[in-house]
Amino acid sequence: MLALGGAAGVALWSPLPTQAQAGPAVAPQPLAALPLAAAPAPLVRGLPDFSSLVEAVGPSVVNIRTTEKTKVSQGGEGDEEMQDFFRRFFGAPPGAMPPGAMPPGAAPAPRRGGPPRGGNGPDEETNRGVGSGFILTPDGYVMTNAHVIDGADEVYVTLPDKREFKAKVIGADKRTDVAVVKIEASGLPAVKIGDVNRLKVGEWVMAIGSPFGLENTVTAGIVSAKARDTGEFLPFIQTDVAINPGNSGGPLINMAGEVVGINSQILSRSGGFMGISFAIPMDEATRVSDQLRSLGRVVRGRIGVQIAEVPKEIAESIGLGKPSGALVRAVEPGGPADRAGIEAGDIITRFDGKTVEKSGDLPRFVGNTQPGAKSSIEVFRRGQSRQLGVTVAELEPEKVKTALKPTPSAPSPVGALGLTLSDLNAEQKSELKLKGGVRIEKVEGASARAGLNEGDIILAVANVEISDIRQFEAVVAKADKSKPISVLFRRGDWAQYALVRPTAR
């Protein structure tokens, strides 16, 4: 048999002799102990005990209840599934709710917009939703999600000691989903803010909140990923902590009892927890909350470009190497980027000395820059890097742009790529704000397979800027037809790349 010994090694014992074995029977003798290879110290020693964290941070976590003035339905409308849940687990009769739960007619969780429930009764303040939050300062500033308080007529904050306060909304930023409210109280237990940069994937974290209106609920899990791009200005923290409707706005807490994020979103097909939750990093949230408290709004920088990711094949085709940076698809006429000389088709690789690894990095870098600041920017254009300077402006609401449809001049066929092209006249160039380019009048074969369409404006081929059809023909004639040919084109207001494979199968 195999006996597992102590740390010194494993002792192997010889079996009892069988009748087929010659010689007298002998008692089993231990063989020499075989030393084990030095075992590494265990990386994980048991499961963590979160009780001390709950005692330390729990008093700083609040319940946020929002109300709206609506017409109350005369018949009473409830969520049957939620009523059944409370009946089974709390013994509440139909129509009755346990303390801390929302009444049947209330939304079961904070919702982003949507029509209020109503009827034909009188105006009345009714519960709209339930969320969570945490105390930022002893004098009553509370942080939560913007979507928790969005559209509410009144906001109420309930402390763990059951004191309830009507809160004043200081400010909310929908782009980051961060909001700050204020209650008239003092001597409150404020949370400690942790360093998100020190947070590691696989690290234990804990959440406290009010899922489905059940206050002071504690859940725990690990950090699944960092810098997960699901928002324009935020690299989210992904966890497997159980987060459900009502947890929104509550804190994500590390093992040191520090808040490292705000629980904000879940990835779910059912509306309930499915193992993937997202939290707003606390460094980003703090930056936003500081501006909300001082200005009542968030001021961000902008340079006036529309961007996209750089595909791997495109990066290799144009000589960029690895697929990094932000591809400029359009430049706002007269905007900061336009004045700086940035063009559609450029790939922005660095901003103010910071490397743009992916397109989502650029909005954060620019957004965190003070409007009016002069920043350095590096672009990759036609196989070369260029250094430019840009004066950052203040971010404004996006303007709706109308696609331009120039009238073609006399078309000329270019058979190598399956294209029929026309030159742009002076009027068309002026309207499109282009120095050159050719318009596609007809597309088939390899170019059609690459996704080019009639009406697209070709700006560059094989990293060579195109001024007219003659230059286009010359560049294509010299290109290696056995390899994909990169084509930079503009469709409406958007610029993008395509790879045309003349020998595509």
The DSSP result for 156-225, as a single string, is EEE-TTS-EEEEEEEEEETTTTEEEEE-S--S--PPEEP-GGG--TT-EEEEEE-GGG-SSEEEEEEEEE
- The answer to whether the annotation marks 453 as part of a ligand binding site is no
Range of 21-25, 27-31, 281-285 with top mean pLDDT: 281-285
Which CATH code is given to the segment(s) 411-500?
2.30.42.10
Q: What is the pLDDT of residue 3?
A: 33
Residues 6 or more apart in contact with residue 451 via CB below 8 angstroms: 498
More confident residue, 75 or 210: 210
pLDDT tier, 148 (very low <50, low <70, confident <90, very high otherwise): very high
Overall average pLDDT of the 92-99 stretch: 40
Overall average pLDDT of the 404-410 stretch: 42
- The answer to whether the annotation marks 145 as part of a ligand binding site is no
Of 26-30, 95-99, 466-470, the range with the lowest mean pLDDT is 95-99
- What CATH topology corresponds to 301-394? Pdz3 Domain (2.30.42)
Token pair for 309: 């990711």
Of 70-74, 211-215, 276-280, 429-433, the range with the lowest mean pLDDT is 70-74
The Cα–Cα gap between 188 and 100 comes to 21
Q: What is the pLDDT of residue 165?
A: 95
Overall average pLDDT of the 113-138 stretch: 71
In CATH terms, 51-298 corresponds, of 1.10.10.10, 2.40.10.120, 3.30.2130.30, 3.20.20.140, to 2.40.10.120
The Cα–Cα gap between 446 and 461 comes to 14
- The answer to whether the annotation marks 277 as part of a ligand binding site is no
How do strand 123-135 and strand 164-173 relate by DSSP bridges?
Answer: unpaired
- The answer to whether the annotation marks 247 as part of a ligand binding site is yes
Q: Which amino acid is at 488?
A: L
Domains 51-298 and 301-394 share a fold: no
Task: Using the predicted structure, report yes or no on whether residue 223 has a pLDDT greater than 90.
Answer: yes
Overall average pLDDT of the 116-139 stretch: 77
* pLDDT single digits (tens) 437-484: 898 888 888 888 888 888 889 988 888 888 888 888 888 888 877 788
* Active-site annotation, residues: 147, 177, 248
pLDDT tier, 167 (very low <50, low <70, confident <90, very high otherwise): very high
Token pair for 346: 């450029």
Q: What is the pLDDT of residue 415?
A: 58
Task: Using the predicted structure, report yes or no on whether residue 286 has a pLDDT greater than 70.
Answer: yes
**451, 420 contact by CB (below 8 A):** no
Domain locations along the chain: 51-298, 301-394, 411-500
Q: What is the pLDDT of residue 403?
A: 35
- The answer to whether the annotation marks 147 as part of a ligand binding site is yes
Q: What is the pLDDT of residue 466?
A: 87
Q: What is the pLDDT of residue 11?
A: 34
pLDDT above 70 as % of the chain: 73
Residue 45, SS3 per DSSP: coil
Q: Closest Cα to residue 67, out of 151, 135, 144?
A: 151
Write down the mean pLDDT value for the chain.
Answer: 78
The Cα–Cα gap between 126 and 231 comes to 32
Task: Using the predicted structure, report yes or no on whether residue 252 has a pLDDT greater than 70.
Answer: yes
